[in-house]
Amino acid sequence: MDIIMTDLEVDIMNLFLSMDIHKPQEIDIWRIAREMDIWIHYYEDESKATKFNGSYYILLNNELSPQEEYQDFAHELGHIIRHVGNQHKLRLAFRKLQEHQANNFMYQFCVPTFMLQNYEIVNYYNIEDGIPIIAKNFNVTEEFARKRLIQFRNKIQQAKSDEEHRKFMESLYPKAPPYSKETMKVMEDLSAILYKKGLKK
């Protein structure tokens, strides 16, 4: 069964591979920030991303656990990559949309699909088995790992459903080739007509 990655998942995979990061143990926020020319600072308020004098900054709350720090970094990186300008000037609906997008980026970034596929968790339908494995290896909280595995389980279920639907449709409408001689004649005649119309224009 092929799992088709979304554009976001592919972009995140390409971002990591461009930094020669292939395994979760190689992920380091300081290295990523340096590669992307982003400054990290700690302070006492909520984590946020900002731009000042042409440079991007991620300000992280200084009381976070290492796992929460990684998750907050990914969320704020999502804002830097996907959003421009002062978020607080936007209408509430747009702020909510941007927060949703940043959260989605965070889950995909912290536990990238291309890495997650390498883990042989026996039963994704019983995600409780996979939570401690993902939390430990990807350095995220167990609650985060649970939500990410639910996302991944849904993706697998969708891929299976799509494959079953494709096979069913193929059984109803088998592929036409090889075409009969009669069909080939009709197609040639049609091509000739279209070609002549194209020449007349």
pLDDT at 176: 56
In the chain, what are the domain boundaries?
7-165
pLDDT, averaged in runs of 10, over the chain (201 residues): 84 96 97 96 95 93 97 96 64 80 96 90 73 95 96 86 79 68 81 67 43
Residue 49: how many other CB atoms lie within 10 Å = 21
Identify the helix (H) or strand (E) that includes residue 57.
strand 55-61
Q: Considering the entire predicted model, what is its pTM?
A: 0.77
pLDDT at 200: 43
pLDDT at 77: 96
Helices (H), the chain: 7-18, 29-35, 66-82, 92-110, 113-116, 131-138, 142-172, 181-200
